[in-house]
Amino acid sequence: MKRLTSVILMMILFASIVGCSNKNINEDAAEFLEQTDGIEDTTNPTTVETSEVNENSGSDNAELGNITEEDKENEDNEENDVSQTTIRIGIPEGMEVLSALSLLRESENDDVEFEIIKRSKVFSANDLSDEYNVLILPTHTAAALYNRTTEFKLIGTSVWSSAHLVTNSDITSWMEMKGESISLMGQGQPTDIILRSLLVKNSLEPDQDITLNYISDAKALQSSVTKNTKLAVLSEPQLSTVLGRSQKVEVVYNLSEEWSAEIGGLYGVPQISVLVSDELIENHPVLLDLITRRMFESTHWYSEEAKEVVTFAESLNIGVNRNLIRRQLETLDINFVPVGENREMYDVYFNTLNDYSKRLIGGSVPDEGFYFIPPRRP
């Protein structure tokens, strides 16, 4: 079994990609909580200074020949950086897992661990950095966490919202929705807020020109779409399930794309993001480089080795069958984008949420201390 040290050194010397793991996640993990309410209690965020990341830590230009004493010393330092630290990943069950499969493959190494966690644990634990140095969370939950404790920094987003407005009628535009009702889940949650924002931008006043019908049960929502509900907002995995069952249901709008077009953004609504601990940023740049590389690789792996990806995802026992995993991976917009490539978008997103519900993001829009720009794209 390869250890993470070997992986790092091979990455530095050859920029290679490691093999797949068959390690299973705890089968008794708590049910994935799709709807979260943010938190009430907040603290004043403070900026934590981070040390500069060594830009040469992931260099693809190292050569085997003519290794100098300085090269050997650097490699020894990198090996120590790896061998003395375990990557401990906290990740809720569901889309978060699917967005990080390439990173989770590292679990075949003794120095990488990951755990399915309850979302409530994010807000109840006194010191998450003692348990995890990587968290993959809904972006608004990440902001709320930062407003409670500044021990983690956002380095990028891996999933862009899968929310789609669908219909089983002949409605094809926003204006044709006037006087109708839209069914959806999660009142006061990000998807609800983004939908309301888009309705206003398209001259429709929510709760006046159009009724928003909130349904708490996912199966009930799915069933209503295939029967008597004209319009509904569906996210994964409900979207793939309904489209797979009914040929009558069609997508009217991808809400993420519509919102991106309205704000002039490049990538859409940032749904799932990656956080790393201050301790990892400051003391282990090689491990940070590995994390960002693996997140980048996930996107390419999904498109080039789809069957292998589905098989690996199925082996994690995340409570979703093989066919639904495959459909979700085809539908989800999984594309890791580091903070530096889309920084202004986060401010627009958090301000949009904050205008409707301050508690959803922990009381305030995160300050600059929330962001860390990781090493350049490999």
Per-residue pLDDT band for 108 (boundaries 50, 70, 90) equals: low
Look at strands 181-184 and 152-160 and give their pairing: unpaired
**CA dist., res. 333 & res. 338, Å (int):** 15
pLDDT of residue 274: 95
- Which tokens in the block code for residue 76? 């020894």
Q: Provide mean pLDDT across the span 200-222.
A: 94
378 or 14: which carries more pLDDT confidence? 378
Q: Taking a C-beta distance cutoff of 8 angstroms, is the pair 30, 93 a contact?
A: yes
CATH topology of domain 4-12+76-160+269-370: D-Maltodextrin-Binding Protein; domain 2 (3.40.190)
Per-residue pLDDT band for 197 (boundaries 50, 70, 90) equals: very high
Which residue, chain included where needed, has tokens 């006043």? 205
**CA dist., res. 257 & res. 163, Å (int):** 10
pLDDT (tens digit, 9 = 90+) per residue, 56-70?
333 333 333 344 454
Q: Provide mean pLDDT across the span 186-191.
A: 95
pLDDT (tens digit, 9 = 90+) per residue, 217-276?
988 999 888 888 899 999 887 888 888 888 899 999 999 999 999 988 888 999 999 999
Q: Taking a C-beta distance cutoff of 8 angstroms, is the pair 147, 177 a contact?
A: no
pLDDT of residue 76: 46
pLDDT of residue 28: 27
In this structure, of 96-100, 156-160, 215-219, the range with the lowest mean pLDDT score is: 96-100
* The pLDDT of residue 107 is above 70: no
- Radius of gyration for the chain, computed over Cα atoms and rounded to the nearest angstrom: 22
Per-residue pLDDT band for 109 (boundaries 50, 70, 90) equals: low
Per-residue pLDDT band for 48 (boundaries 50, 70, 90) equals: very low
193 DSSP 8-state letter: H
Q: Taking a C-beta distance cutoff of 8 angstroms, is the pair 183, 271 a contact?
A: no
Nearest in space to 298 (alpha carbons), one of 102, 97, 17: 102
What pTM, to 2 d.p., does this model score? 0.74
Q: Taking a C-beta distance cutoff of 8 angstroms, is the pair 268, 333 a contact?
A: yes
Same fold, 4-12+76-160+269-370 and 164-263: yes
Q: Provide mean pLDDT across the span 286-295.
A: 88
CATH topology of domain 164-263: D-Maltodextrin-Binding Protein; domain 2 (3.40.190)
pLDDT of residue 114: 84
pLDDT of residue 41: 33
pLDDT of residue 84: 54
User: In sequence order, which residues have a C-beta less than 8 Å from that of residue 21 and are 6 or more positions away?
Assistant: 104, 105, 106, 107, 108, 312
Per-residue pLDDT band for 4 (boundaries 50, 70, 90) equals: very low
Per-residue pLDDT band for 46 (boundaries 50, 70, 90) equals: very low
* The pLDDT of residue 78 is above 60: no
pLDDT of residue 54: 36
Which residue, chain included where needed, has tokens 């999933």? 159
224 or 55: which carries more pLDDT confidence? 224
* The pLDDT of residue 201 is above 80: yes
* The pLDDT of residue 105 is above 50: yes
Which residue, chain included where needed, has tokens 């008794």? 28
Question: φ and ψ at 57, to 5 degrees?
Answer: -65, -30
12 or 216: which carries more pLDDT confidence? 216
DSSP for 245-261, please give it: H-SS-EEEEEHHHHHHH
Q: Where are the domains of the chain?
A: 4-12+76-160+269-370, 164-263
